[in-house]
Chains A and B, each alone.
Chain A
């Protein structure tokens, strides 16, 4: 059974804190993604990675960074959390290549509140 896990379901942080969100997948997927989900805006891509140590900016990378040191793990970092980063964060993974359609498998999400 495929699985994407995220380190926390709920997280409360203070403004200015450094925040780490961890994502692990066990499907040997090359691609990993970080989205934020906000009401009325759907899912917006923050960063993605198609290989170890590789990263690409998504649509809203400002205020975030990522790290992918191992194939199965993709971390999202908020260097200095701000209240406008209060959101649901979703991690996803998929196979690379056009042969596979590239269905993305999602983690359960981390609801982050920044006070």
Chain B
């Protein structure tokens, strides 16, 4: 069974700083997808960024980028030039390409951006 672990329950940085959220996962599959979701306070969960395991190039979406280390089963999220609106719970998730298309989530990291 897949497992996803986020070892940082909470993080706090100053506005404009760069922050990295950690995520490790375990799967027996060779092809899978990895996701970072953001849940702002009292708002809906939204997708931040996704990575296909068969792609070696790290995904990037504006200020958000990932460091995908397949051999180490590590999938960290880097937020550059952090903004107050980045304050949220961040969840790492994985999904097999085949079979049931359910996501397995980590425990979440509460990120606070301070002015």
Contacts and interface: CB of A to CB of B under 8 A. Distances in A.
Asked if A and B bind, the verdict is: yes
Interface of A: 4, 31, 33, 35, 40-45, 48, 50, 56, 58, 90, 92, 94, 96, 98, 101-104, 106-109
B108 A42 contact: yes
Nearest to B5: A42
A102 B91 contact: no
A44 B102 CA distance: 10
A96 B99 CA distance: 10
B11 interface: no
B8 to A, nearest CB: 12
24 contacts: A4-B44, A33-B102, A33-B103, A35-B105, A42-B6, A42-B91, A42-B106, A45-B102, A45-B103, A45-B104, A48-B102, A50-B100, A58-B102, A98-B97, A101-B33, A102-B33, A102-B95, A102-B101, A104-B103, A106-B37, A106-B45, A106-B46, A108-B44, A109-B44
Contacts of B102: 33, 45, 48, 58
Q: For the side of the interface on B, what is the size category?
A: 20 to 34
A41 B107 contact: yes
Nearest to B103: A104
A40 B10 CA distance: 10
Given A42-B106, A43-B105, A103-B35, A98 B98 contact: yes
A108 B101 contact: no
Contacts of A102: 33, 95, 101
A41 B46 CA distance: 19
Nearest to A48: B102
Contacts of A108: 43-44
Nearest to B97: A98
B100 A48 contact: yes
A102 B37 CA distance: 13
Contacts of B46: 106
Nearest to A111: B42
B86 interface: no
Nearest to B9: A40
